[in-house]
Amino acid sequence: MLNFLGKRAVASGISFVGLVLLVFFLSRLTGDPTSLYLPLDASEEIKNQFREINGLNDPLLVQFFNYMGDLVRFDFGDSIRRSEPAIDIVLRGFGWTLQLAAITLSLVIVASITLGSLAAFHVGGAFDRIATFFSLVGASAPDFWIAIVAIVVFSVTLGWVPTSGTGSFAHWILPVSVLFIRPFGLIVQIVRGSMITALSSAYVKTARAKGIKNRLIIFVHALRNALLPVITVIGDQAAALLNGAVVIETIFGFPGVGKLMIDSILQRDFAVVMAAIIVTALAIFLMNLVIDILYSILDPRIRY
């Protein structure tokens, strides 16, 4: 396993460098920030001064090596927009996103695995049909649209929860509930599908013949084998949440890394874009590692 971890760290390092390289050069293709930050009638002299200060006058390759040189000393550069270290801004935003993702995902995992397993156990029964229908609705609903309808209903009309921002427990309710819906619907369906397969296998028949309780058969015997595809989908959903639920964060004015990223991309604030991508990429690589380890724990036939 240690050998695997070492290999994996090297592999992650390689794709990490690839990502940094790709983002650095591709983001520069979207244009020069100078004309965005200076007034329209700024003279060429002032523009050149701005480029000089922000290191935009050097050839791209020189800029890249300067950046990488700073990066190994953990210097991510300063934000043009807010003139403070980019990494500080990003870590602040990432903290918020991490909380939001963790709360949403734990609720989703508990709820969807329980409901999906029970639905699979009584295929075709009333509970199964209700669960299937609601997971279908959940998986089909655009969270974008749910969010603005929820704001109109619960914040504007009923006045139960704040429309946007952070600060109190009530501020978390709408973003978490809206973010919960789609992954929940998706994962219930996957759990149900793979549980149906697992429940019809021979070892479940054996367990039943031994007289083991249904609860144990579902959650101990079958679930472990049904979890493999489920974990893949959970990982994908978690990655999406860690990248920042951009639209939800924008609609609810949530100061997460997703909103920060889109603002910085549109403002050509390259230092912040790079720092945000590096931080989220590190988090996602770590998570993928955990998922691979989980695979081999759940199914010992999978060896690395």
User: 220-259: which residues touch another protein (CB under 8 A)?
Assistant: 228-229, 231-233, 235-236, 239, 243, 246-247, 250
Residue from 9, 137, 170, 220 that binds another protein (CB under 8 A)? 137
Under rule CB under 8 A, how many of the chain's residues touch another protein? 73
- Which tokens belong to 4? 């695997």
Please, what is the minimum distance in Å from the beta carbon of residue 93 to another protein? 13
Identity of the residue, 49 or 155, whose beta carbon is nearer to another protein in the bound complex: 155
The secondary structure of residue 56, as a DSSP letter, is -
Question: At 85, phi and psi to the nearest 5?
Answer: -55, 130
Burial class (CB in 10 A: 0-12, 13-18, 19+), 84: exposed
3 state SS of 230: helix
Identity of the residue, 31 or 53, whose beta carbon is nearer to another protein in the bound complex: 31
Q: Interface with another protein includes 285 (CB under 8 A)?
A: yes
- Which tokens belong to 271? 């230092």
Residues 143-172 that bind another protein (CB under 8 A): 143-145, 148-149, 151-152, 156
Residue from 48, 66, 168, 200 that binds another protein (CB under 8 A)? 200
Residue from 14, 46, 170, 216 that binds another protein (CB under 8 A)? 14
Please, what is the minimum distance in Å from the beta carbon of residue 180 to another protein? 15
Burial class (CB in 10 A: 0-12, 13-18, 19+), 76: buried
Q: Interface with another protein includes 34 (CB under 8 A)?
A: no
Please, what is the minimum distance in Å from the beta carbon of residue 258 to another protein? 8
Identity of the residue, 73 or 301, whose beta carbon is nearer to another protein in the bound complex: 301
Binding mask 94-133 for another protein (x = CB under 8 A): ---------------------------xxxx---xx--x-
Q: Interface with another protein includes 141 (CB under 8 A)?
A: yes
Please, what is the minimum distance in Å from the beta carbon of residue 247 to another protein? 4
Q: Interface with another protein includes 22 (CB under 8 A)?
A: yes
CA distance 118 to 199: 11
Residue of 47, 52, 26, 24 lying closest to 35 (CA atoms):
47
Q: Interface with another protein includes 15 (CB under 8 A)?
A: yes
Please, what is the minimum distance in Å from the beta carbon of residue 228 to another protein? 6
Identity of the residue, 11 or 220, whose beta carbon is nearer to another protein in the bound complex: 11
Identity of the residue, 18 or 46, whose beta carbon is nearer to another protein in the bound complex: 18
